[in-house]
């Protein structure tokens, strides 16, 4: 065959091959990439022999561009422009470049990753590529050696599984290094730099573990609360169990008055940490919102974690009591009373709960058993006495009332034996005797109460009642004697008038004594209801005084 014909045929085949190699399938459309795009520049590939020139051209003209279109996180800079810039730099051999020179080229070209390499033929259809990846951010150099063939489908696959995979590793290492730098800046309080590093790292890898937490924390420390919330909530979506994120969000939600979000975060944290104290705090917050159902639920969760958590029992007991759920409150109040038997508020509420639940006998038995087990428990004595007194007011049979009062007096005598200086015991004794109209005994015990505690106001009211009662009896006697005196004559009339005047004087003195007692009582209390009651009593006594002195 003529050699010129052979040359022509060869040229046609080469042109056909190049045309065929330029034909590439269209890549499938992928979801838009929203992160930071890494700009990659590939310097002219150095061919080590003449047989490698054709594959070098194919890679440069078509293959790299085609493969990169599948990976939107990377932007391959125009290879012809990159080649021109490399030529302008004055550097001759890509294999002779030093780190500082690579850094200079990267900055000049404007890339994040600079790729250098050479091609060497192994045989007619197989070629070896020796590549180096330089990271402008970390100044690290990563090598890669791989082989390609003339078969384009196989070659494209190799580029994806080796070249792009190595590029992924380089960027991943780059991200990890930047992330570590960010964490160091965070730990050192350099929040502006930490923010910059974290934003960049997340732009490259949005799935970076806990990065949104640290970025949110940086914004929190800088006072950028809205940005902090946005990033912390993103981190929580990725890791719902991240307790540090929840803790910061709880604080931010409190500062921004987002109560519902705060409570939701607190419940998650309390569940994860199994924290009964946090459940108690949650219950108190729900109670402030008057969300009783949620408050009760939180308290029950606290008690599930710690059945002996007395603070939660107390809060639940008072919550139920305050909402008139007395029967439900009693077991909790009993538990608190058993632990703190001297607590007046608990003892009083327990007694009231028993009363409201129509369980007076159960309540009395409870306190009497407490007295038996602990004779020094003052509140048990006084609670039992109060319940007996209440029971007496609910009983109509005089004999039964007398028996109930006797039980109360017996308990008070036992208390006085143990605590002879207990003013409250004497005061209760005075009240019981006064209810039985036993004025002498009532007066005796009221005075004993004041001897032991002059600051009490109720004994003065009891004494005022006694004096008013005596004054009323004297005044009624005066009226009777006045009637008798008007009908009598002579010596009898004179005697009756003397008795009448004495009765009136005694009535006035008792009324005035009652007034004095009431003023003493008023001076010893600040309770509005007590003062209102005392003022009404004073007004009534003043009327009686005016009435008794009207004939003077």
Give the model confidence (pLDDT) of 241-260 as tens digits: 999 999 999 999 999 999 99
Percent of the chain having pLDDT more than 70?
Answer: 94
In whole angstroms, what is the distance from residue 454 CA to residue 291 CA? Answer: 45
In whole angstroms, what is the distance from residue 267 CA to residue 297 CA? Answer: 11
Helix/strand/coil for 133:
strand
pLDDT given at position 30: 58
Domains of the chain by residue range: 34-182, 324-420, 439-552
Give the model confidence (pLDDT) of 13-27 as tens digits: 444 444 444 456 666
Question: What does the pLDDT average to over 187-201?
Answer: 92
pLDDT given at position 344: 81
Looking at the domain 324-420, which fold is it?
Answer: 1.25.40
**Other beta carbons within 10 Å of 473:** 15
pLDDT given at position 488: 87
Whether the domain at 34-182 and the domain at 324-420 fall into the same CATH topology: no
pLDDT given at position 126: 95
In whole angstroms, what is the distance from residue 319 CA to residue 324 CA? Answer: 9
pLDDT averaged over every residue in the chain = 90
Report helix angle 211-221 to 225-238, nearest 10.
Answer: 160
Helix/strand/coil for 269:
helix
pLDDT at 9 over 60: no
Give the model confidence (pLDDT) of 83-97 as tens digits: 999 999 999 899 999
Question: What does the pLDDT average to over 507-533?
Answer: 95
Long-range contacts, 29-35 (Cβ 8 Å, 24+) = 30/70, 30/72, 32/72, 33/72, 33/73, 35/73, 35/202, 35/203, 35/204, 35/205, 35/206
pLDDT given at position 25: 66
Give the model confidence (pLDDT) of 128-138 as tens digits: 999 999 999 88
The sign of the dihedral angle between the CA atoms of 352, 450, 426, 346 is positive
pLDDT given at position 352: 87
pLDDT given at position 300: 96
pLDDT at 552 over 70: no
Could you say which DSSP state residue 59 is in? I
| CATH code of the domain occupying 34-182 | 3.40.50.10610
Question: What does the pLDDT average to over 516-530?
Answer: 95
pLDDT given at position 14: 46
Q: Which two tokens stand for residue 49?
A: 């022999």
């Amino acid at each position: 065959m003529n050699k010129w014909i052979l040359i022509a045929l060869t040229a046609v085949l080469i042109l056909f091959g190049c045309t065929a190699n330029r034909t590439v399938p269209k890549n499938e459309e992928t979801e838009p990439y929203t992160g930071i795009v890494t700009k990659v520049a590939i310097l002219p590939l150095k061919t080590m022999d003449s047989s490698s020139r054709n594959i070098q051209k194919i890679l440069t003209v078509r293959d790299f561009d085609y493969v990169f279109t599948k990976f939107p996180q990377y932007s391959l800079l125009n290879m012809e422009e990159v080649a021109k810039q490399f030529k302008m730099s004055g550097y001759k051999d890509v294999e002779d470049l030093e780190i500082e020179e690579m850094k200079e080229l990267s900055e000049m070209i404007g890339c994040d990753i600079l790729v250098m390499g050479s091609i060497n033929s192994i045989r007619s259809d197989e070629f070896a590529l020796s590549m180096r990846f330089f990271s402008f951010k970390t100044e690290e150099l990563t090598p890669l050696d791989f082989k390609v063939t003339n078969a384009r489908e196989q070659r494209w696959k190799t580029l994806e599984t080796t070249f792009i995979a190595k590029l992924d590793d380089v960027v991943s290492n780059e991200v990890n290094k930047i992330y570590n730098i960010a964490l160091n800046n965070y730990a050192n309080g350099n929040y502006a730099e930490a923010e910059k590093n974290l934003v960049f790292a997340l732009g490259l890898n949005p799935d970076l573990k806990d990065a949104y937490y640290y970025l949110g924390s940086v914004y929190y420390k800088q006072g950028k609360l809205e940005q902090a919330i946005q990033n912390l909530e993103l981190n929580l979506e990725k890791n719902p169990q991240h307790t540090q994120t929840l803790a910061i969000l709880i604080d931010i939600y409190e500062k921004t008055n987002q109560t519902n979000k705060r409570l939701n975060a607190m419940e998650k944290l309390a569940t994860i940490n199994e924290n009964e104290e946090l459940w108690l705090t949650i219950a108190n917050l729900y109670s402030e919102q008057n969300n009783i159902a949620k408050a009760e639920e939180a308290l029950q969760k606290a008690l599930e974690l710690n059945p002996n958590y007395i603070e939660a029992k107390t809060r639940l007991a008072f919550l139920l009591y305050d909402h008139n759920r007395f029967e439900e409150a009693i077991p909790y109040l009993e538990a608190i009373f058993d632990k703190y038997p001297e607590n007046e508020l608990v003892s009083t509420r327990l007694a009231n709960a028993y009363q409201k639940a129509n369980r007076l006998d159960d309540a009395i038995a409870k306190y009497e058993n407490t007295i038996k087990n602990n004779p020094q428990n003052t509140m048990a004595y006084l609670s039992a006495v109060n319940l007996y007194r209440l029971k007496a007011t609910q009983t109509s049979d005089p004999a039964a009332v007398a028996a109930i009062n006797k039980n109360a007096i017996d308990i008070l005598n036992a208390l006085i034996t143990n605590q002879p200086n207990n003013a409250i015991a004497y005061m209760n004794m005075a009240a019981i005797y006064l209810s039985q109209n036993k004025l002498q005994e009532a007066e005796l015990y009221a005075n004993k109460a004041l001897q032991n505690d002059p600051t009490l106001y109720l004994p003065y009211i009891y004494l005022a009642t006694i004096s008013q009662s005596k004054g009323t009896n004297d005044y009624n006697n005066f009226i009777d004697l006045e009637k008798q005196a008007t009908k009598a004559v002579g010596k009898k009339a004179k005697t009756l008038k003397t008795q009448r005047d004495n009765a009136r004087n005694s009535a006035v003195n008792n009324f005035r004594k009652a007034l004095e007692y009431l003023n003493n009582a008023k001076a010893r209390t600040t309770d509005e209801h007590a003062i209102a009651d005392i003022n009404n009593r004073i007004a009534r006594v003043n009327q009686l005084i005016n009435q008794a002195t009207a004939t003077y």
